[in-house]
Chain A
Amino acid sequence: MLRRLGVGVLALAAVALVAMSPVGLQGQGGPILLGGVGPLSEPGAAESGAEMRMAMELAVDELNAQGGVLGREVRLQFEDTRGLPEEGAAAMNRLADAGAVGVAGEFHSAVAKAEIEVANVRKLPFVIAEAWSDSLTAAQYPYVFRIAPAVSLFYTKVADWIRAAGFKNVVAIYELTDFGIDVDRVLKTELTSKPNLYGERIQYTSVGVERTVPDFTPQLLQFKAQNPDLVVNIVTGTGGYLIVKQAAEVGLATTRSTAMLAVSTSILQPEFWETAGEAGLFTITKRGFHPLLGATPAIQQFQRAFEERYGRTPTFAAMEAYDAIKVLAAAIEQAGSTDPDAIVAALEQIEYDGVLGTIYFSTQREPAYMYHQWPGIRAVLIQYTEVGQKPDDAHMIWPLYLKP
């Protein structure tokens, strides 16, 4: 009797194990598991990671409301990567072990750098949402795609604006991360190799900082002594807010003679106004679209759904995360399978109408960062003209908009 009972228990356990295994989860008719990665706790930019997860959950719920993918329910497993490369690699391995057929997300380039290695080894299609370092797509891994622009792709356009606006004494404070170092490199190369609108040589001085430093005042005071006409703030998260606030406190920027360009996605979040207050007035920042360039129905629908569900306006990072999940789902649908190579082939062919535009991935290998990169994202610079202003209502300063 006991032996029969033991055999029965073992058999049940075996069935349960098979059902819970990756093969069981992804079996015919079972749910399709998509992975999400991003920072949900510090030292990562947790505020942006949280927003990315919200956007991904919204995307998955919409997919399921429309019947799922390949007629199967879609599930999302979001892993907190904490802004740490080792956590990112571990998260990717956990997702692969759990049977994820594709992964979307990430905010920090240094973390994405570790994640693409796992994606490549574990044959896990990975659509990077908001990590910008050139090196990510320049590695030219077959399973890695990117919606966020490569730094070189975007910041050459930002440098175009700096020259066109006639700035000639530019100082920059950049975080010592892959992203910060890349942006500094591109700006330095672009600004020191070409003159500004008036044919003047541009002087560019930059300083690297740790993201966790709370007091930037010593460096900002030193910048003030140089009388710059533009301060470029290349620090993400809380550090980016603090630089805007402290630059105003020491009388450096924004003033009549010195502008502040802050490039972190966090500058688009409502917390910017809570933390910077009046110091944030006339701050210039970047994003991927502006209503003046034509708000697509997809953007309007996404913004409305996001605001209704979470009570906050989505940023650029949220849009990219949402698009990354949707484009993965569309590729699976197009491939008709969850086989990783079939998904990669579909991603290389895809043309998906997303929130940020029609998404497709380049297969050109020169320059190296263009491989599997969406080249279609727009570089838009906006300037806040009122305290508490929403990014959609801010003044678009680049590209120049001429009313018809």
Chain B
Amino acid sequence: MELFWAQVVNGLIIGLLYALMASGLALIFSVLKLVNFAHGQFYMAGAFASYYLATLLGVPPLLSVLLAMLFVFVVGVVVHLLLLQPLYTGQVERKDEYAILMTFGLGILMQNLALALFGPWTKKPPDFAPGVTTLGPLTLDNDRLVVAGMATALMLGLLWVIGRTFVGRALQAVSQDRDAAAIVGINPHRMNRLAFGLGVGLAGGAGALIGPIFLVSPSMGILPGVKSFVIIVLGGMGSIPGAILGALLLGQIESLGSVYLLDPTRGLAYKNAFGVLLLALVLLVKPTGLFGQRHVRME
């Protein structure tokens, strides 16, 4: 039983991190109606930014996470202005293909740029809170507890902004109908930039938070990027609550599945397949995902 609860807690912490990253991707899809294939690389950018802020400038670790989010937000806004804005100004005819090629290419460029700039050596930012906490039979790494708390706070903050503020309502309006939003005075281009910046900023925050736990390297974003796609399809494309629920589910399935499903000596080898299996099962029953809309595409 002790092993079971240890796996549940571990799955919850990992699920919260997945949720932080995937909610950014869901936000981008919700407003811009495009899948950001460079999402994992923005996650990596946040981790490197936080690492260098903490180690070179001596910024306290938690503050370095917030500054890294801000940095990635600004990069995201610039990337949107330069590369993605043409999608919404009538300059591009084949929008879906353009968006896929542009974000995919950007991801490859960012990863190779990181390799050239920072080298292949694995790096570790300073711990948020060194040591472990013992809760009954469970031993928990303090960093993971801090990260789980931060991820929860950031997600609650995101839900509050989206649901309770004028900006959040404006984002929702653009997400539902760009033209109608424009008629009531909301600038859809500005909302696009904001959504993209916020979305990649959340990915950057997740990368910065995960750095001390899973370490920092140029390729660190590949797997979380793929998992984010699985999560947002699972939760329903464009739904932030769906992405959060999907992420928590995936965290549990991976953690418990590695030990209790299949052959336990091979469980960890199948870990990455659990998400796809879960996705297939959910889509068979509910093709739009847990909270998805029926028809969502770029107009």
Query: B-contacting residues of A (Cβ < 8 Å)?
Result: 40-43, 46-47, 49-50, 173, 176, 205-210, 212-219, 221-222, 225, 237-238, 241-242, 249-251, 266, 269, 271, 274-275, 277
Contact = CB atoms under 8 A, between A and B. Distances in A.
B121 interface: yes
A163 B214 CA distance: 33
Given A42-B219, A50-B120, A219-B258, A214 B6 contact: no
Contacts of A213: 223, 268, 271-272
B119 A249 contact: no
* Chain A CB within 10 A, most for which of B7, B123, B271: B271
8 contacts: A40-B120, A42-B219, A207-B264, A207-B265, A218-B10, A271-B121, A274-B123, A275-B124
Contacts of B218: 41-42
A42 B2 contact: no
A212 B141 CA distance: 21
A210 B269 contact: yes
Contact of B120 (A47, A218, A249): A47
Which 5 A-B pairs rank lowest in CB-CB distance, beginning with the nearest? A46-B120, A42-B219, A218-B258, A249-B141, A214-B214
B115 interface: yes
A249 B132 CA distance: 7
Contacts of A238: 122, 215, 217
A207 B268 contact: yes
Given A218-B255, A275-B123, A43 B219 contact: yes
A218 B122 contact: no
Contacts of B141: 249-250
Interface in B1-35: 2-3, 6-7, 10, 14
A172 to B, nearest CB: 10
B124 A274 contact: yes
A46 B266 contact: no
A275 B269 contact: no
B74 to A, nearest CB: 26
Contacts of A250: 6, 139, 141
Contacts of B165: none
A218 B222 CA distance: 21
Contact of A212 (B7, B222, B264): B222
Contact of B269 (A205, A209, A225): A209
B176 interface: no
A47 B268 CA distance: 24
B223 A212 contact: yes
B86 interface: no
Given A249-B132, A271-B121, A205 B265 contact: yes
A225 B2 contact: yes
Interface in B193-216: 214-215
A269 B123 CA distance: 12
B122 A275 contact: yes
A275 B120 contact: no
A173 B259 CA distance: 14
Given A50-B120, A222-B259, 7 more contacts: A42-B218, A217-B10, A217-B255, A221-B3, A221-B6, A225-B2, A225-B3
A250 B137 CA distance: 11
B266 A215 contact: no
B293 interface: no
B7 A221 contact: yes
Given A218-B255, A219-B259, A249-B132, A41 B120 contact: yes
Nearest to A205: B265
B219 to A, nearest CB: 3
A219 B14 contact: no
Given A214-B214, A241-B215, A46 B115 contact: yes
A47 B7 contact: no
B267 interface: yes
Given A222-B264, A242-B215, A47 B139 contact: no
Interface in B229-275: 254-256, 258-259, 264-269, 271-272
> B122, B123, B141, B259: which has the most chain A beta carbons within 10 Å?
B122
A277 B132 CA distance: 14
Contacts of A208: 265-266, 268-269
A213 B112 CA distance: 21
B120 A277 contact: no
Contact of A206 (B7, B217, B265): B265
A121 B217 CA distance: 37
B271 to A, nearest CB: 6
Interface in B147-162: none
Contacts of B217: 42, 238
A275 B121 CA distance: 10
Nearest to B126: A277
Contact of A215 (B6, B115, B214, B220): B214
Contacts of B272: 210, 212-213
Contact of A271 (B122, B220, B259, B264): B122
A105 to B, nearest CB: 15
Interface in B77-128: 112, 115, 119-124, 127
A241 B139 contact: no
Which of B2, B132, B258, B272 has the most CB atoms of chain A within a 10 A radius of its CB? B258
Given A214-B223, A241-B122, A219 B214 contact: no
A40 B264 CA distance: 34
